[in-house]
Amino acid sequence: MSESTVDAEGLRARVRDLLAEHDPATTGRLEFLRARFDAGLAWVHYPAGLGGLNAPRELQGVVDAELAAAGAPDNNPRRIGIGLGMAAPTILRFGSEENKKRFLRPLWTGEEVWCQLFSEPGAGSDLAALATRAVRDGDDWVVTGQKVWTSSAHTARWAILVTRTDPDVPKHKGMTYFVCDMTAPGVEVRPLRQITGEAEFNEVFLTDVRIPDAHRLGEVGEGWQVAQTTLMNERVAIGGNAIPREGGMVGKVAATWREHPELRTPELRDRLLRLWAEAEAFRLAGTRLRQQLAVGQPGPEGSGMKLAFARLSQALSGLEVELLGEQGLRYDDWTLRRPELVDFTGREAGYRYLRAKGNSIEGGTSEILRNIIAERVLGLPSEPRVDKDVAWKDLPR
């Protein structure tokens, strides 16, 4: 990747040119987003021609601030978070030039929603034990299997998919990574109802689904290595978002505390102060992590952020329910709907409390993340793994 000579003032000039040619007040939203991508102002740190300018990552904030001040539309990042946070960096690193040109632009503009086909009924925390098979057939691969807990599968056009292509080697070595067309014959999406009453997640059945080899990311048998890029970016996307002081869940709990003085007790006050301090430390750690990301790829530090995010969300939502008493167990929108995104701060306390239970599962369970932190950050000995050198087909199930 070539170095860029674009600095902050150069980016501001490019933004001015974009706004002059595409006035947000008179330009359609999609047309503006496409023009922004083509101008290299989508991901400034991406290569030229792929939404970026090879500029330092930290300069993205300059572009975002200028466009926000001008009233320009954004790409609704919460709706397309899987594409932005997981699929895009994986495609950028492992995709062919054709894949990058085909997928990145509509991914960033939100024209095409993405989902993640990783977890399986028998391979959740142990992703490398997955059983979905992909068999080569000429220029295609024929895929059969089942995936579970798939967010956005009911709205997705594309999926990032990890499969088993060689059962005769140890489980980490026989995996291959693909881009899967969610509209292809043989793809069936079924809703999974959760404790909130909604069907935000899905199970996906793949029956003789044909995927062209051109949609393979990385080499055959190296899907585990490719998946690590996705997972590290996923954990940063979940736990490393930029938020203001008292933003997110802690802000909702603090507001409840201020609005209901009759519910206060010394014990609840002490818990709130401790959680507020932890939330602030978490926010500042996230700022530091994003600074590290500006100069390289995400590492195991993202696992720590995601682990802390899950624990804080559950503790804060539980405290809020206690503050509200019997009112905290209610929420108005108990419907069997199919939401496009999770809305933690725009819903009632009862919803937040129930939905936060999933935070310690999605994006890697808290137990697995503790192992990653112990081994890769703290340098502690790894747990014994008796299946490390055993062929996948010989593993007990």
| Domains and their CATH numbers in the chain | 9-74 (no CATH), 114-221 (2.40.110.10), 227-377 (1.20.140.10)
Task: Using the predicted structure, report yes or no on whether residue 239 has a pLDDT greater than 80.
Answer: no
Tell me the average pLDDT of the chain. Answer: 89
CA 311: distance to chain centroid? 18
Question: Could you give the CA distance from residue 358 to residue 353 in angstroms, rounded to a whole number?
Answer: 10
Query: What does the pLDDT average to over 179-199?
Result: 93
Query: What does the pLDDT average to over 199-219?
Result: 96
pLDDT-based confidence at 263, cuts 50/70/90? confident
Question: Could you give the CA distance from residue 347 to residue 183 in angstroms, rounded to a whole number?
Answer: 32
**What interhelical angle do 301-324 and 223-239 show, nearest 10?**
40
Instruction: Check residue 271 and give its pLDDT.
Output: 92
Both tokens of 23, joined, read 């006035």
Question: Could you give the CA distance from residue 83 to residue 330 in angstroms, rounded to a whole number?
Answer: 33
Question: Could you give the CA distance from residue 218 to residue 228 in angstroms, rounded to a whole number?
Answer: 12
Nearest CA to 134 out of 45, 10, 221, 41 is that of 221
pLDDT-based confidence at 242, cuts 50/70/90? low
pLDDT tens string 270-310: 999 999 999 998 888 877 766 666 555 556 667 778 888 88
Instruction: Check residue 335 and give its pLDDT.
Output: 62
Q: Within 10 Å of residue 136's Cβ, how many Cβ atoms?
A: 12
pLDDT higher at 235 or 65: 65
Cβ-based burial of 363 (10 A; exposed 0-12, middle 13-18, buried ≥19):
buried
Instruction: Check residue 1 and give its pLDDT.
Output: 43
Task: Using the predicted structure, report yes or no on whether residue 66 has a pLDDT greater than 80.
Answer: yes
Task: Using the predicted structure, report yes or no on whether residue 99 has a pLDDT greater than 80.
Answer: yes
Residue whose structure tokens are 């997640």: 201
Nearest CA to 134 out of 96, 188, 180 is that of 180
pLDDT higher at 240 or 365: 365
pLDDT-based confidence at 10, cuts 50/70/90? very high
DSSP 10-78: HHHHHHHHHHHHS-TTTS-HHHHHHHHHHTT-SSTTSPBTTTB-S--GGGHHHHHHHHHHTT-----TT
Of the ranges 185-189, 207-211, 285-289, which one carries the lowest mean pLDDT score? Answer: 285-289
pLDDT higher at 131 or 262: 131
How many residues can be counted in the chain?
397
Global confidence as pTM: 0.85
pLDDT higher at 238 or 233: 233
Task: Using the predicted structure, report yes or no on whether residue 325 has a pLDDT greater than 90.
Answer: no
Instruction: Check residue 264 and give its pLDDT.
Output: 83
Q: Which residues are catalytic?
A: 234
Both tokens of 308, joined, read 């802390």
Q: Among residues of the chain, what percentage have pLDDT more than 70?
A: 92
pLDDT higher at 105 or 303: 105
Task: Using the predicted structure, report yes or no on whether residue 3 has a pLDDT greater than 60.
Answer: no
Highest mean pLDDT pick, 27-41, 197-211, 224-238, 326-340: 27-41
Decide if 186 contacts 160 (C-beta within 8 A): no
Question: Could you give the CA distance from residue 228 to residue 385 in angstroms, rounded to a whole number?
Answer: 19
Question: Could you give the CA distance from residue 246 to residue 257 in angstroms, rounded to a whole number?
Answer: 13
Instruction: Check residue 282 and give its pLDDT.
Output: 85
How many angstroms separate the Cα of 176 from the Cα of each of 179, 216, 257, 307?
Answer: 11, 8, 50, 27
Highest mean pLDDT pick, 193-197, 201-205, 267-271, 371-375: 201-205
